[in-house]
Amino acid sequence: MSQREEYENSLKQEIRQLIKEKNAIMLAHNYQRDEIQEIADVTGDSLYLSQVSADCNAEIIIFCGVHFMAESACVLAPDKKVILPRLEAGCPMADMITAEKLKKWKAENPGIPIVAYVNTTAEVKAESDICCTSGNAISVVNSIEADEVMMVPDQNLAQHTAKHTNKKVRWWKGFCPTHHILKKRDLNKLKEEHPDAKIILHPECPPDVLEMADHICSTSGMYSYCKESTAKKFIMGTEIGILYRLRKENQDKEFFLPEVMICPNMKVTTLEDVHDAIKNLEPVITVPEEIRVKAWSALDKMLKVPRDN
């Protein structure tokens, strides 16, 4: 075993010990570094992790993800202390819309319900009628009585949703840099190397790229689809962190991913950060109560709508 491996192993053991001593729970998003996913109590998408935060008995949540996710945990679990190991772990897509900009849009376009992707700040959720995830966006839009909706902030998820609903869908011009960067040529290159592989894409990818998909779904949908499929090879169109669990849970299958798909914000958190966060119980994330209650309402309405896939 190398010195680095020895060091990492002892750090992992210390983290697990501290988690136990402090009655905490460690949650890791599907895009986190492998070594963080490995020692987390629970891994999953942002909404699932927020629901776990609300339902668990732990007093302290160590949320290994990005800022808006820790905020959602605060919104759904106001009685718990939520800690984000690296405060600067943000989401460029969430930052493409602010509550002020959304308020202005609403004033100029009265009466159009706002559907906010969960990848938004609590303040933006508080200004929205209902939230959605990449796994329920179509069902959420169909659940709204109005004939027209505004989806924020991801233009690609909105355009994908628009193709599967009779409602008129408008969209904000935001995007996830990690998914928006994907090009058809990246997939074609992998497809040439692995012609029998299925192409599974996240709806945050651009519309022209999504045309190449055998299946389009959320990260949670990807785990179940690949597990249940009889295919043996898959080309995945989402952040590289998805590969850790896919490979662990499907050892008889092969997974390939375009090398451009790395989110720097998801990779900023290290084992050392998690160790220091649980030891010092900071940085703590909070959401003002007035905003929390409104954001909770938008999330709660969404939770009553079933998943698309």
User: Under the rule (CB under 6 A), what is the footprint of ligand SF4?
Assistant: 31, 66, 91-93, 119, 176-178, 239, 263, 265-266
Instruction: Tell me the C-alpha distance between 81 and 60, whole Å.
Output: 5
CB 214 within 8 A of CB 199: yes
Quote the least distance from Cβ 15 to ligand SF4, whole Å. 23
Q: Is 24:58 a contact under the CB 8 Å cutoff?
A: yes
Residues 6+ apart with CB under 8 A from 266: 29, 31, 32, 65, 66, 89, 239, 241
Q: Between 176 and 295, whose beta carbon lies closer to ligand SF4? A: 176
- Signed CA dihedral, 175, 176, 181, 185: sign only: negative
Phi, psi (5° rounding) for residue 63? Answer: -100, 105
Task: List, as one string, the DSSP characters of 256-275.
Answer: E--TT---HHHHS--HHHHH
User: β-strands 81-83, 284-285: how paired?
Assistant: antiparallel
State in angstroms the smallest separation of the CB of 291 from ligand SF4: 20
Check whether the bond before 283 is cis (ω within 30° of 0).
yes
Q: Which is nearer to ligand SF4, 66 or 285 (CB)?
A: 66
Nearer to ligand SF4, 119 or 220 (CB): 119
Of residues 82 and 266, the one with the C-beta less far from ligand SF4: 266
Closer to ligand SF4 by Cβ: residue 91 or 217: 91
- The residue among 58 and 213 lying less far from ligand SF4, judged by its C-beta, is 213
Minimum distance from residue 194 beta carbon to ligand SF4 (Å)? 24
Least distance (Å) between residue 109 CB and ligand SF4 = 25
CB of 293 to ligand SF4, least distance (A): 25
Answer yes or no: are the C-beta atoms of 302 and 132 closer than 8 Å. yes
Shortest distance, CB of residue 267 to ligand SF4, whole angstroms?
Answer: 9
